[in-house]
Structure 1
Amino acid sequence: MSLPKTFPLRAAGGKTIQIPSVGYGTWASGENSWAKDAVVTALKAGYRHLDCAWMYGVDEAVGQAIKESGVPREEIFITTKASFWPHFGHPDSVDLCLDKVLANMQLEYVDLYLAHWPCVWKPASREALQKAHSAHDSTPSDKGIASLEDGKPNVDWEHSAANLAKQKGKKGSFVPTWKAMQECVKKGKAKAVGLSNFSITEIEELLPHEDDVPISCNQVEVHPWLPQSEIVAFGHKHGIVTTCYSPFAGQMEGGVRRLEEAKVVELAKKNGMDGGQLLQSWAVQRGTVPLGKSATPARIKSNLDIRKLSEEDMEVLDGLAVPNGEGRTVNFTEAWGVPLFTV
């Protein structure tokens, strides 16, 4: 049986646009030649949803791939973010980050623009942001990032989510940055705006400020080992689409890929699928949008071939969840010294 090819996404003025139910992720694509070839392959295989971010350093490659693919721009749903390391998170800088993306991709607009993190870092300077570039081999200085002596980020608590600032004994609010995101829609640079890596508490801070431009999306890590059921249900309740990065869950201890776990292999074989297809199908069947990534043409193609699973198989995959968020692939709180992913 078939699964939906698109989901409705709330946009400005009470309108609804369609977001393809399976996206192609471009994170960690490395050098531009790799990214360009992979995106061309994805588009020719039938993908119509590309998930990007300024900090991934592949905007130029993605723009070149779109042109080379021959697929009309209006048929492609493009998501980008302000930006992986959140030094573009100040309300005065989100527009600048989007301008960089549009220039590098040679586009007039993106379909969805996300605030990448609920915390904001201080940049080196406005001039540094204007000159910043995100090539895969660029340094923090090249990116316009200001770090403290211990290498930790210089956090702008005033413009970080209230939930995070409070834990540090500070006062903060993400509302000004959210309003700046909304202005990008009003200027025609984005069709919709949303969030990424926001907890329910952090989303609730912004719900009273949707006005005419709603919170369309929240992108978080989701896979059977980290199902994020509570935040997915919250999204459904409030009309916020959940898009899922790292849908294949990375590696377990010892370097074994979770895709190679016995239950996954067994269910994939039972359904005539490979592991990637199985996990992407599970995600779409839950009403979420997986953003799988591969460099292998055969995998790129198969990851798009989603099919409806039995309720029994869905329950088996649901049963893979591990407690206390231990299924998360990267502990950004530990890496950054900022209390992310808290309720």
Structure 2
Amino acid sequence: MEYITVDGIEVPALGFGTARMNGYDEQYRAVSTALEIGYRHLDTAQMYGSEEAVGSAIADTDLDREELFVTTKLAPGNRDTEAVHDSTAASLERLGMEYVDLLLIHSPNDGIDHEETIRAMNDLQEEGSVRHIGVSNFSVQQTAEAMKYSETPIVTNQVKYHPYKSQADLLAFCIDENVMLTAYSPLAVGDVSDDETLTAIGQRYNKSAAQVALRWLVQQPMVSAIPMSSSAEHIRENFDVFDFELNDEDVRAIFDLQDGLPDDLADRLDI
């Protein structure tokens, strides 16, 4: 496993996502499999309906809580002070935990001042039920505003990022500001599997197109990825991306699948 150091903590660069799963049984089996394989970074959210399954799967292992990095997110309606406190308490009850490692604002909500939400999240940090905070689906400007409002570091911005979806401006910002960019849908909901460029690159490393896509992400500074799968085979395959490294030519070829690699980002990636 490789790690990203941010706000004095080491976060596993590869995590396991739980969005779009079909009910408790599938969620529980998938998370249990992921934990058995070696995933220690788990991502859930109030609106996913997976917190209970994540908590149960963890409880049924012999893992110590401190070995895990668990993220959940505030649902869109839970943004005022009271809702932040109450909904986080409910999340912790479903998870069966005393704290979460990371609490995110799930997406921007123009109807609620982000400052109020972030202040309430800071209060939870002071109480100890939340260790770190962040945002999701925020623009560069919105992320900068969140950083201004918060008394503590904004640890991550979780956004859709994969070989066909450029996040060049945000990634440059995150590298400069020491903010982790967490990539959800890193395999483009499976679309990368048949990609000719990724397949050709993978053949040189004896890896699948999906493994190449994940390696491309976690090889970038400040980027973590949280692939989701209910298939034990795919969960294991996605985890097997730390025994090879893409060369600069391969990295550029994958950036060419989107908008290419801007010069300023290439400098930050040292390519």
Task: Note whether the superposition's TM-score is higher than 0.5.
Answer: yes
| Mapped partners of 2:209, 2:64: distance in 1 | 31
SS across alignment from 2:72: strand
2:202 to 268, 279, 289: 268
In the other structure, the counterpart of 1:296 is 231
Does structure 1 residue 227 correspond to structure 2 residue 166?
A: yes
Q: Give the residue type in structure 1 aligned to 2:119.
A: K
Rounded to whole Å, the distance in 2 between the matches of 1:301 and 1:250 is 17
Mapped contact 2:192–2:209 kept (Cα < 8 A): no
Which residue, 92, 100, 108 being the options, matches 1:118? Answer: 108
Match of 1:204 among 144, 148, 154: 144
Structure with the largest fraction of helix: 2
**Stretch moving more, 21-30 or 197-206:** 197-206
User: Which residue identity does 1:265 align to in structure 2?
Assistant: T
- What one-letter code is carried by the residue in structure 1 that aligns with 2:103? Y
Query: Deviation at 1:209?
Result: 2.5
1:11-55 Cα deviation digits (max 9, x unpaired): xxxxx1111110000001111010101101000100000011011
Deviation at 1:70, TM superposition (A): 2.2
Map 1:245-264 → 2, pairs under 5 A: 245-250=184-189, 257-264=191-198
Of the candidates 215, 235, 240, which is equivalent to residue 305 of structure 1? 240
Does the residue aligned with 1:226 lie in a helix, a strand or coil?
Answer: coil
Quote the Cα distance in structure 2 between the aligned partners of 1:5 and 1:237. 20
How far apart are the structure 2 equivalents of 1:8 and 1:96? 30
Kindly name which structure, 1 or 2, has the bigger radius of gyration based on alpha carbons: 1
Tell whether 2:109 aligns with 1:174.
Answer: no
For 2:250, the aligned partner's letter is D
Confirm whether residue 33 of structure 1 aligns to residue 25 of structure 2.
yes
CA distance in structure 1 between the partners assigned to 2:119 and 2:213 by the alignment:
35
Q: Which amino acid aligns with 2:139?
A: S
Helix, strand or coil: the match of 1:93?
helix
- CA separation in 1, counterparts of 2:15 and 2:146? 26
Number of aligned residues: 257
- CA apart distance, 1:322: 5.0
TM-score of the superposition, structure 1-length normalised?
0.72
Task: Give the AA of the match of 2:4.
Answer: F
- Residues of 1 paired with 2:229 and 2:109: CA distance? 29
**Distance (Å, rounded) in 2 between the aligned partners of 1:181 and 1:50:** 20
The structure 1 residue matched to 2:215, chosen from 260, 278, 281, is 281
Q: CA deviation at 1:268?
A: 1.6
What does 1:99-110 correspond to in 2, within 5 Å?
99-110=89-100
Tell me, what secondary structure is at the counterpart of 1:89? Answer: coil
Match of 1:82 among 74, 79, 100: 74
Tell me the amino acid that sits aligned with residue 311 of structure 1. D
User: Do 2:192 and 2:210's aligned partners in 1 also have CA atoms closer than 8 Å?
Assistant: no
Could you say which residue in structure 2 is the equivalent of 1:130?
none
Instruction: Provide the identity percentage.
Output: 32
Which SS does the other structure have where 2:60 is aligned? helix
In structure 2, C-alpha distance between the alignment counterparts of 1:208 and 1:58, rounded to whole Å: 31
The CA RMSD over aligned residues, in Å, is: 1.5
**Residue pair 2:74, 2:104 contacting (<8 A) in 1 also:** yes
1:207 Cα offset (Å):
2.6
Q: Residues of 2 paired with 1:290 and 1:70: CA distance?
A: 25
Letter in 2 for 1:5: E
**Given that residues 195 and 209 in structure 2 are in contact (C-alpha distance below 8 angstroms), is that contact kept between their aligned partners in structure 1?**
no
SS in 1 for 2:135: strand
Match of 2:49 among 57, 66, 83: 57
Which residues of 2 match residues 6-21 of structure 1 at below 5 A? 6-10=3-7, 16-21=8-13
Aligned pairs (5 A) from 1:304-323: 304-306=239-241, 307-321=244-258
Query: Which residue of structure 2 aligns with residue 153 of structure 1?
Result: none
Shift of 1:258: 3.1
Distance between the aligned counterparts of 2:148 and 2:93, measured in 1?
Answer: 33
What is the DSSP-based 3-state SS (H/G/I as helix, E as strand, rest coil) of the residue aligned with 2:81?
A: coil
C-alpha distance in 2, partners of 1:40/1:250?
21
Structure 1 gaps of 5+ residues are 11-15, 121-156, 160-172, 252-256, 324-343
2:39 aligned partner: 47
State the alpha-carbon separation in 2 of the partners of residues 207 and 75 from structure 1: 27
Whichever residue aligns with residue 217 of structure 2, its letter is A
